[in-house]
Amino acid sequence: MAAPDILPPKGVRPPIIGPGQTFGTITDRIAGIVLTKHTPVFWVLVVAFAAALFGMLQTAVAYLLFKGTGIWGITIPIGWGFAIVNFVWWIGIGHAGTLISAILLLFKQTWRTSINRFAEAMTIFAVMQAGLFPLIHTGRPWLAAYWLFPIPNTMGIWPQFRSPLIWDVFAVSTYFTVSFLFWGIGLIPDFATLRDSAKTLVVRRIYGMLAMGWRGSAKHWNRYETAYMLLAGLATPLVLSVHSVVSLDFAVSVVPGWHTTFFPPYFVAGAIYSGFAMVLMLAIPFRYLYGMQDFITLRHLQNSAKVMLATGMIVAYAYGLEMFMGWYSQDKYELAMVNNRLHGPYSFYYYMLILCNILIPQSLWLNSVRSTPWKLFLVAIVVNTGMWLERFVIVVMSLQRDFIPSSWGMYWFTKWDMMIFIGTMGFFTLLFFIFIRLMPAISIFEMRTLIPQAKVKE
């Protein structure tokens, strides 16, 4: 199935779509994945495994609701632990999707087309994981679920809008909705394709409903394109705002290590960084398993790698800045924070983070790494680990030692913390593979525009 990647001669960039593709071949190859009768073995295996992890997640959450957040490692002073770390990590991952589809679209980066669809899916599923944590990390989720939203009630009490946590609620839920709409309307024409290429009436009916009767009329396309462009225009500031708001959850506080003005850009860069790492972690196996090398070419991998390199450097700069500001302020608490990062009980994690997020990714300067899928895959894994550690360092190491020495404390995570974290990965994978099986993982109609025949000759 897998066609080997052929490196083009030096100086020539690989194409963004393999040679010899026609409207028909594109349609059949991509729609084929969905409409085929026989399900590939690896799909069954992965889904089974992911489902098991999902089961573990459900168990852990049920126990959590039954017993209370005490089953986690959190304590006073470290009131936030794995839950918030995971939340920020997942929401960060959830950024690449919209970024790719929206910002690259505005910049007319045609190479986005073959990866935007599943990048968007990835976003939605990642945000679903992220959204889980802020809810279950509260002491009384059943109340948080409705007191955090401005719902009329008999108490005459409303949310407290000065709290960054409320901003968070709005930002994340908006982000989820918008990404979902964006993804959804992108799918309509492809559903139409599936409707028309499906064999059995049932399948055609199902996709028919989803396609809402799309028929490719010029007037429709015209409005469709406008709406799509505008959505992209809206999603761009949104995607930037979401992680900025997330970063405000910390920046607004007084905690040394949180209370910093450069958190928003720093967090956004980090988010894109991990987002692209996740895209690669998904794209590389996908193109291999489904033989999609013609659609997701080395060009895509290389570009993603470059974006990672760029954002990675921004993140590195932020780390430097954090340390510098700590020193420059000469504020005793900031200095202590820096010192704690470097020599505190958790300094090991800090050095690991430097290794994963700064040192190892430097290998992306090498063309050989950028052009070798399995190497990229490894780097991507390292980066995502590093990004998780970054959040751990920010959340735990800052809270662990703040102002009054007598209340300094330690944090140990429990098996429940782990189960829930791993569980969400399973849930994510599960959703993603189901998506691949049931929906076109690559935007068919946009792929069509990439081939020569698509142009109107005068």
Partner 1 sequence: MAQIFHRSANTLARASILGVVLLLSAVGAALMEFQRSPYVTAQHIAPEQPVPFSHQHHAAGLGLDCRYCHTSVEDSSFAGIPPTKTCMNCHAQIWTNAPMLAPVRYSFSSGQSLQWTRVHDLPDFVYFNHSIHVNKGVGCYSCHGQVDAMPLMYEENTLQMEWCLNCHREPEKFLRPKEKVFDMRYQQPSIAHAVEVDGKSYTSQFELGKALRQKYHLRTSQDITSCSTCHR
Partner 2 sequence: MSNKSDSSPNLISANQIKPASLELEAVRKKLAEAKGPKYWRTLEELSDQKAFGELLEREFPRQASEWVDPVSRRGFLKLAGASMALAGLAGCTRQPLEQILPYVRQPEQLVPGKPIFYATAMPFHGHALPLLVETHEFRPTKIEGNPLHAASMGATDLFAQASILNLYDPDRSTTLTHMGELRPWGEFAMALNSEVRARKALQGAGLRFLTGAVSSPAFGWQMKTVQQSFPQSKWHRWDPVNRDNMRAGSKLAFGGYYDPIYKFENAAVVVSLDADFLSGAWFPGFVRYARDFMRGRKLENGDQMNRLYVAESSPSTTGAKADHRLVLRPSEVENIARGLAAKLGVAVTAGHLSGDQQKWIDALAADLMEHKGKCLVVPGEFQSPAVHALTHAINGALGNIGQTVSYIDPVEVDPVEHGQSIRELIADMNAGKVETLIIIGGNPAYNTPVDLEFVKALDKVKLRIQFSSYKNETTDHMHWHVPETHYLEAWSDARSYDGTATIIQPMIMPLYDGKSAHEALSAFTDQLGTSSHELVQTYWKSQHPTVDFETWWRTAVHDGFVKDSASPARQVTPKIAALPALPAADPGAIEVSFRPDPTIYDGAFINNAWLQETPKPLSRNTWDNVAMISPAMAKAWGLYLLNDENDHQSDAQRILEVEFQGRKVEVPYWPQPGHPDNAITLFLGYGQEKTGRVGAGTGYDAYKVRPSTAQYIGAGAIITVTNRFWDIAVTQGHFSMEEREPVKVANLEEFIKNKNFAHEHPDEEPKDGGDRQESLYPNFKTKENFYQKYAWGMSIDLNSCVGCQACAVACQAENNISVVGKEQVQRGREMQWIRIDSYYEGDPANPSVYFQPVPCMQCENAPCEPVCPVGATVHSTEGLNDMVYNRCVGTRYCSNNCPYKVRRFNFFLFADYDTPSLKLGRNPDVTVRSRGVMEKCTYCIQRITAARIASEKEDRDVRDGEIKTACQQVCPTEAIVFGDINNPDSRVRKIKDGPRRYDLLAELNTRPRTTYVAAVRNPNPKLASGTERA
Partner 3 sequence: MKAGPGPIFGLMAEFETPTELVHAAKGAYAAGYRKMDTYTPYPLEEAAEAIGAHHNRVSLIVLIGAMLGMVGGYSLEYWVSVIAYPINSGGKPFHSWPAFIPVTFECAILGASLAAVFGMLALNGLPQPYHPVFNAPNFVRASKDRFFLCIEAQDPRFSPSDTRKLLESFQPEEITEVPY
Instruction: Write the CA distances from 365 to 6, 75, 351, 430, integer angstroms.
Output: 20, 42, 22, 34
Q: Which token pair is 445?
A: 């109609």
Distance of alpha carbon 406 from alpha carbon 76, whole angstroms: 12
Q: Which does 448 bind (CB under 5 to 8 A by kind): partner 1, partner 2, partner 3, none?
A: partner 3
Q: Is 213 left (phi over 0), alpha (psi -120 to 50) or beta?
A: left
Residue for token pair 């109107």: 456
Find the length of the chain: 458
Distance of alpha carbon 115 from alpha carbon 149, whole angstroms: 35
The DSSP letter of residue 401 is S
Q: Which is nearer to partner 3, 343 or 457 (CB)?
A: 457
Q: Which of 13, 140, 223, 415 binds partner 2 (CB under 8 A)?
A: 140
Q: Which token pair is 218?
A: 């010029």
Binding flag, residue 404, partner 2 (CB under 8 A)? yes
Size of residue set near partner 2 by CB under 8 A: 59
Of 7-15, 70-78, 120-128, 449-457, the window that binds partner 2 (rule: CB under 8 A) is 70-78
Binding flag, residue 406, partner 2 (CB under 8 A)? yes
Maximum CA extent, the chain: 80
Burial class (CB in 10 A: 0-12, 13-18, 19+), 37: exposed
Q: Which is nearer to partner 1, 156 or 452 (CB)?
A: 156
CB of 67 to partner 2, least distance (A): 6
Instruction: Tell whether omega for the bond before 77 is within 30 degrees of 0, i.e. cis.
Output: yes
Q: Which is nearer to partner 2, 252 or 378 (CB)?
A: 252
Distance of alpha carbon 152 from alpha carbon 340, whole angstroms: 46
Q: Which is nearer to partner 3, 168 or 294 (CB)?
A: 168
| Sign of torsion over alpha carbons 233, 237, 238, 243 | positive
Q: Which does 201 bind (CB under 5 to 8 A by kind): partner 3, partner 2, partner 1, none?
A: partner 1
CB of 130 to partner 3, least distance (A): 16
Q: How many CB atoms sit inside 10 A of residue 114's CB?
A: 26
Residue type at 404 in one-letter notation: I
Q: Which of residues 429-448 bind partner 3 (CB under 8 A)?
A: 445-446, 448
Q: Which is nearer to partner 1, 185 or 425 (CB)?
A: 185
Q: Which is nearer to partner 2, 402 or 446 (CB)?
A: 402
Q: Which of 131, 189, 344, 426 binds partner 3 (CB under 8 A)?
A: 189
What mask, x for binding partner 1 by CB under 8 A, covers residues 145 to 164? -------xxxxxx-------
Q: Which of 252, 309, 235, 325 is nearest to 277 (CA)?
A: 309
344 in Cβ contact with 402 (< 8 Å):
no
Q: Which of residues 195-214 bind partner 1 (CB under 8 A)?
A: 195-196, 201, 204-205, 208-209, 212-213
Of 79-87, 398-406, 420-428, 450-458, the window that binds partner 3 (rule: CB under 8 A) is 450-458
CA-based radius of gyration for the chain: 23
What mask, x for binding partner 2 by CB under 8 A, covers residues 226 to 265? -----------------------x--xxxx----------
CB of 301 to partner 3, least distance (A): 25
Residue for token pair 């908006």: 174
Binding flag, residue 171, partner 2 (CB under 8 A)? no
Size of residue set near partner 3 by CB under 8 A: 66
Q: Which of 65, 225, 291, 438 binds partner 3 (CB under 8 A)?
A: 225
Binding flag, residue 220, partner 1 (CB under 8 A)? no
114 in Cβ contact with 16 (< 8 Å):
yes
Q: Which is nearer to partner 3, 120 or 417 (CB)?
A: 120
52 in Cβ contact with 46 (< 8 Å):
no
Distance of alpha carbon 94 from alpha carbon 126, whole angstroms: 5
Q: Which of 116, 109, 132 is nearest to 441 (CA)?
A: 116
Q: Which token pair is 451?
A: 């081939």
Binding flag, residue 216, partner 3 (CB under 8 A)? yes
The DSSP letter of residue 232 is H
Instruction: Summarize as ranges the residues that interact with partner 2 (CB under 8 A).
Output: 65-70, 73-80, 137-144, 147-148, 153-155, 157-160, 162-166, 169, 249, 252-255, 332, 336, 343-345, 399-410
Instruction: Summarize as ranges the residues that interact with partner 3 (CB under 8 A).
Output: 22-24, 27, 150, 156-162, 164, 166-167, 170-171, 174, 177-178, 181-182, 184-185, 189, 192-193, 195-197, 208-209, 212-227, 230-231, 234-235, 237-238, 241, 245, 248, 445-446, 448-449, 453-457
Instruction: Summarize as ranges the residues that interact with partner 1 (CB under 8 A).
Output: 152-157, 195-196, 201, 204-205, 208-209, 212-213
